[in-house]
Amino acid sequence: MEKLPDACQRVRETREKMGWSQAELAERTGVSRDTVGRIERGQLPDAVFLGSFSELAGVSCDWLVLGRESRGGPPGEPGAHGREELDEAVLAGVIEGVEEELLELGASLEPKKKAELVALLYEMMGSEEGPQPGRSRITKMIKLAI
């Protein structure tokens, strides 16, 4: 699997390109300044934040999360699984599942590894013929990653 750039780093870089402070981004997206700081230090953002921020900054959620457009294809063209846009509900569920399992296991992952794990699980969710990653699969993959 290709190494995925860090989603949290892309949030920070995009904010800086927009010329916004963390406080400004927080106000525009409806989160606290502390939340923006935690995101930029490696806490994966939730789908609501990603959707709001991507719209404000004029970038796609796919690019923020995965570092590429439209599931690996050129912008505007369907990717490997025929979905053109990031499914925010699926992504939110994957992020939530990973965060909950890490908390239950008393474990943590460096932001880049966590982003790669979320991206991999999200890809699995989009696979029409592949199995859907349930809680046990998320747990197993986290245990392999830590």
Q: Convert the pLDDT of each residue in 52-83 to its tens digit.
A: 898 888 888 888 887 776 544 434 433 333 34
pLDDT at position 37, please? 92
CA distance 133 to 130: 9
Q: Is the pTM of this model over 0.75?
A: no
Looking at residue 19, the DSSP 8-state letter turns out to be T
CA dist list (Å): 92 to 16, 29, 51, 65, 105:
25, 16, 11, 11, 20
- 31-37 mean pLDDT: 93
Q: Could you tell me which CATH class the domain 7-145 is placed in? A: mainly alpha
More confident: 72 or 49 = 49
| Radius of gyration of the chain measured on its C-alpha atoms | 15
More confident: 50 or 6 = 50
Domain boundaries in the chain?
Answer: 7-145
Lookup: tokens for 125: 């969710």
Instruction: Give residue-wise pLDDT tens across range 84-116.
Output: 466 777 777 788 888 888 888 898 888 778 887
DSSP-H helix ranges across 41-110: 47-57, 61-66, 88-105
